[in-house]
Amino acid sequence: MEFNICLLPGDGIGPEIVEQAVKVLKAIGQKFGHEFVLKQALIGGEAIDKTGFPLPEETVEICKESDAVLLGAVGGPKWDNIDKDRRPERGLLGIRKELGLFANLRPAKLFSELKNASLLRPDIVDKGIDLLVVRELTGGIYFGQPKGEEVRDGKRVAFNTMIYDEDEIRRIARLAFELARKRRNLVTSVDKANVLDVSQLWREVVEEVSKEYPDVTLNHLYVDNAAMQLVRDPAQFDVVVTSNLFGDILSDEAAVITGSLGMLPSASMGEKSPALYEPIHGSAPDIAGQNKANPLATILSVAMMLDYSFNLKEEAQAIEQAVQNVLAKGYRTGDLLEQGKQLVSCSEMGDLVCKEI
Ligand code: IPM
Ligand code: MG
């Protein structure tokens, strides 16, 4: 089979980690007889430097013509003082909106080989962490109107609007329930319904949707409690569904308790293809260009792509198994190094995974 993939390496460590993921794609292509046709486009700071815009029109076109998109990372201190409408992050928000990627799936899973890396107490970690944050990605306070900054009564004020319509809530809720059916049949919806009107509607609509899924258990948590429960007892969670802003915050928290930010992939999807895959970590400008970064989150993002976008389950499984094997053999990039393990570079890690495949 032939698949068209658009690569958006982006900034910081983006190019070096995407390079490793490409090696892995090629290894899979060879082993299973697929052709992955790769195109590359500009996004983020690199795009600003070369075109003046964080999301050039050409990039949107190439993405729309592809079957899937693989993104590295965007942003860095070099572009921190640019006008806010032109910052690298705008590129990422823009491509999500352009491709209609309303759902962001962020699995947070503890790799048994990396238990010691978790920041939580061993008795908490021993119960396991295997949850999936399903974050609404194209609505809520990130995009709500009105927003802006102005002067009122001689004072500067700034404002954003947290707004959802029932259709937006319904489609993300349905996806969460569908995904829960493939996991452990439990959905936790996170909101702030004790204070926010928008959260009250959120809760109402999620309740309505849950009637279509009598086999899935639904519970609700306020976001402050959810943040606390995530560190107190993460094993209680299966699928967590929430709005854009709460999901942004909780997915970082869920990721970091596994201790291995450098290991976690993500998928952003809409009603039609292409979906976009990216590691959940950022551009790590402090180690960029030094061949030190951990490419495994990007490599595992490719596994998610093969599974979700191309329905290549066996191939996805082969990548996950290869990553497990490399970890089991004791190879680690700097972020996960412990006593007795062997330090490898970003490119060596990519080669090791390919060898296992
Ligand atoms: C993320 C990031 C982005 C977000 C930024 C870079 C715009 O934090 O993907 O979680 O807030 O969505
Ligand atoms: Mg974030």
Instruction: Give the model confidence (pLDDT) of 261-311 as tens digits.
Output: 899 999 999 999 899 999 999 999 999 999 999 999 999 999 999 999 999
Among the listed residues 138, 108, 136, 110, the one whose alpha carbon sits nearest the alpha carbon of residue 125: 110
The residue from 64, 97, 222, 252 that is catalytic is: 252
β-pairing verdict for 342-343 and 331-332: parallel
SS3 166: helix
Dihedral sign from CA coordinates of 62, 64, 69, 73: positive
Buried b (16+ CB within 10 A) or exposed e, 21-40: bbbbbebbbeeeebebeeee
Retrieve residue 29's tokens: 């292509």
Mutate to test the pocket of ligand 1, among 138, 248, 277 (most ligand atoms within 8 A of CB): 248
The pLDDT, as a whole number, for residue 163 is: 98
Question: At residue 222, what are phi and psi to the nearest 5 degrees?
Answer: -70, 150
> Do residues 357 and 325 touch, judged by C-beta distance below 8 A?
no
Mean pLDDT on 118-134: 94
- Give the Cα separation of 279 and 264 in Å (integer): 6
Please provide the size of the chain in residues.
357
In the block, which residue shows the tokens 């759902």?
A: 103
Annotated active-site residue 126? The verdict is no
Nearest CA to ligand 1 atom 4: 248
Ligand 1 pocket member 356 (CB < 6 A): no
Nearest CA to ligand 1 atom 8: 248
**In the 8-state DSSP scheme, what is residue 158?**
E
> Do residues 317 and 304 touch, judged by C-beta distance below 8 A?
no
> Do residues 284 and 295 touch, judged by C-beta distance below 8 A?
no
Ligand 1 pocket member 89 (CB < 6 A): yes
Retrieve residue 78's tokens: 């070099």
Dihedral sign from CA coordinates of 198, 200, 203, 205: negative
User: Which domains are present in the chain?
Assistant: 1-118+263-357 (3.40.718.10), 125-257 (3.40.718.10)
The pLDDT, as a whole number, for residue 307 is: 95
Annotated active-site residue 224? The verdict is yes
Residues with Cβ within 8 Å of residue 44, at least 6 apart in sequence? 10, 11, 14, 54, 73, 74, 75, 79, 88, 89, 91, 92, 283
CB atoms within 10 A of CB 285: 16
The pLDDT, as a whole number, for residue 273 is: 87
The pLDDT, as a whole number, for residue 211 is: 98
User: 307-349 pLDDT, tens per residue?
Assistant: 999 999 999 999 999 999 999 999 999 999 988 999 999 999 9
Mutate to test the pocket of ligand 1, among 43, 71, 82, 89 (most ligand atoms within 8 A of CB): 89
329 Cα–ligand 2 center, Å: 32
Ligand nearest to the CA of 75: 1
The pLDDT, as a whole number, for residue 350 is: 98
User: 149-204 pLDDT, tens per residue?
Assistant: 999 999 999 999 999 999 999 999 999 999 999 999 999 999 999 999 999 999 99
- Give the Cα separation of 140 and 145 in Å (integer): 9
SS3 50: helix
Give alpha helix (H) positions in the chain: 14-32, 44-51, 57-65, 88-98, 122-125, 166-181, 197-210, 223-232, 244-257, 296-308, 313-328, 346-356
- Give the Cα separation of 121 and 105 in Å (integer): 26
| pTM given for the model | 0.93
Mean pLDDT on 87-100: 94
Retrieve residue 30's tokens: 């060879």
Instruction: Provide the pLDDT confidence category of residue 117 given band limits of 50, 70 and 90.
Output: confident
Mean pLDDT on 10-14: 98
User: 201-255 pLDDT, tens per residue?
Assistant: 999 999 999 999 999 999 999 999 999 999 999 999 999 999 999 999 999 999 9
Based on its alpha-carbon atoms, the radius of gyration of the chain, rounded to whole angstroms, reads 20
Whole-number average pLDDT of the chain: 96
**In the 8-state DSSP scheme, what is residue 79?**
G
Instruction: Provide the pLDDT confidence category of residue 115 given band limits of 50, 70 and 90.
Output: confident
